[in-house]
Structure 1
């Protein structure tokens, strides 16, 4: 049996004493020297002794406990004595006819049972996550990626792993990095971060920046346009602080041009609708362009040509859960297939 397999016998016991006995045996099986020690002042409690103590509380006989645990009576007696020395109070009333717990022993037994149930629950939850039957995946995603590409990816992931809860946050960079630092998101999907030393970036694809113009723009049948040509029309912009806004501002500056937006909006779909309405032109990442085109044209931007790197963003040093790693693999595969299509 592997260390990830919970004994099925554990699930067949309906009575608490037997269940706790099996649970204790299960935990001890994987770490015979496990100790509860969260601070220097805390007592170290060996789980083998706790197992022996709970068995004695159940059976009330050193002999029956020895038979049940397949240990000698001297070992059973030694475990109880050592436990009493560790906690500093008598736990067992010993007579020639029977063994019973002291008031302190009764309190300790009750607490130990609760602790073992909590440990059992934690082990089961971890096993469920490893087996991808339960878990949580939380992602922070750039709107330019999430709008059109994440819905089918999320649908595929949830069809494959229906027991895993999925959370998606559409975020601009500063909020995205904050979520990662606070561990509110497992990972992020977006443009390459700038000046973020605690972030790790894994590129998936290079995303060209394109011009979005109204269909009735008087530029003939040309399929490409220069930034200087676009600058003669009203410009619709994403808000300051977004990576795409910074990239476009740098591009305007590099061409000796000044970018003065006619309108600024937060949502990309709003910009596309405004272009359709003839309110102006804009420059957007290719990934943000809907597959079903509206009443606008998409032109290749030249002079300058601009691209951005899109990929996965992680908080440096953070390990991924099995569910998060499966999601990462799916995101990489689907975005790469889009690149090759």
Structure 2
């Protein structure tokens, strides 16, 4: 059955007149008769009893009519929902983002996006970078925001900006008054780091090893927020992406530019190479690219 055939049948069944059904559907009578005959052939029996004076429904036609009406209503609903998704009048997007990105970059972007498309539902998973990559790779989310993944052939990375690491020190530390400090100065203090296999931890260790420097860790934890709290409580010092600077300051720590070496890492959009983005997800991607 096709929607065209069902529309033809419903029009005749409701008017009990081929002439009036033709007027309703703006079809010629031969075309209408062909649509009804094709429907009957596909179902294997007569739906209408037609004489020179009147048209009547057969028992099978009477049974089909309410089902045909429901099918056409469902068809229209599906078509309208799809049209709304393509025109961004409705839809749903799932995103995974590093906490530093989710808390410092996403809010403004999503606020502007929601102002333009208020009926698009957005789910944000603020998770560590490793989980961002995993959720995109397994298809749990459409968009991921994080560092460039290593060796992930099935993933596409679109850089948005380059972030640099800054030193985070206690407010009472002499380093807090410095205009800039070196890694050698920072590592003379008790260092607080994220636990392995954190991408941030691995990046710092690899970058320092290239310069024959060792990241000696005194305290480990799982969350950047905890690092900020520990530093603010004078448990030690740390280094975090510049994205986290405002958050660290809000927790009571001080941020100081860090050099020798200056460690930087591209931050961007992660998607699957074999998956086309939905219209809503593509709109968010474009908004992100435009804003950064």
Per the normalisation by structure 1, the TM-score is 0.76
Once the 2 structures are TM-superposed, how far is the Cα of residue 221 of structure 1 from its aligned partner? Answer: 4.9
Alignment of 1:281-320 (within 5 A): 281-290=237-246, 293-294=249-250, 295-320=252-277
Assess if the C-alpha contact under 8 Å between 2:40 and 2:47 holds in 1: yes
Give the drift of 1:201.
0.8
Q: Check the 8 A contact 1:228/1:255 in 2, yes or no.
A: no
Q: Which residue of 1 aligns with 2:233?
A: 277
Residues 290 and 115 of structure 1: CA distance in aligned 2, closer, same or farther (over 3 Å): same
CA distance in structure 1 between the partners assigned to 2:248 and 2:183 by the alignment: 25
The one of 55, 63, 72 aligned to 2:11: 55
Take 1:298 and 1:216, find their aligned partners in 2: how far apart are those partners?
A: 12
Structure 1 pair 296–255 and aligned structure 2 pair: CA distance change class (3 A)? same
User: Aligned pair in 2 of structure 1 residues 70, 111: CA closer, same or farther (>3 Å)?
Assistant: same
Which segment is superposed worse, 289-298 or 74-83? 289-298
Equivalent positions of 1:65-144 (< 5 A) are: 65-144=21-100
Residues 50-92 of structure 1 show CA distances to partners (whole Å, capped at 9, x for unaligned) of: 2211111111122322333343433332322222111222222
Tell me by how many angstroms 1:292 deviates: 8.1
For residues 221 and 172 of structure 1, the distance between their equivalents in structure 2, rounded to whole angstroms, comes to 31
| Separation (CA, whole Å) in 1 of partners of 2:166 and 2:109 | 24
1:325 to 273, 277, 282: 282
Q: Deviations over 1:277-336 (max 9, x none)?
A: 1101111111111178354332333332210001111111333333323322332333x2
Structure with the larger strand share: 2
Per-residue Cα deviation, 1:213-256 (whole angstroms, up to 9, x for no partner): 22333458543333333333221112322221110121343344
How far apart, in 1, do the equivalents of 2:104 and 2:27 lie?
64
Measure how far apart 1:107 and its partner are. Answer: 3.5
1:179 aligns with 135
Rounded Cα–Cα distance in structure 2 between residues aligned with 1:50 and 1:112 = 6
Query: Does 2:116 align with 1:166?
Result: no
Q: Classify 1:159/1:50 alpha carbon distance in 2 versus 1 (closer, same or farther; 3 Å).
A: same
Question: CA separation of 1:286/1:218 partners in 2, compared to 1, >3 Å: closer, same or farther?
Answer: same
Decide which of 180, 186, 191 is 1:230's aligned counterpart: 186
Pick the aligned partner of 1:152 from 108, 113, 128: 108
Q: Which runs of 5+ in 2 are unaligned?
A: none
Q: Say how many residue pairs are matched.
A: 291
Structure 1 pair 136–71 and aligned structure 2 pair: CA distance change class (3 A)? closer
3-state SS of 1:293 partner? helix
User: Could you tell me how far 1:202 is from its partner in structure 2?
Assistant: 0.9
Q: What secondary structure, in the 3-state scheme, does the structure 2 residue paired with 1:83 have?
A: helix
Q: Distance in 2 between matches of 1:157 and 1:114?
A: 36
> How far 1:180 moved relative to its partner?
2.2
Alpha-carbon contact 2:84-2:90 (below 8 Å) kept: yes
1:85-143 C-alpha deviation (Å, 9 max, x unpaired): 11222222334443222333234333332222122112222332333332223211111
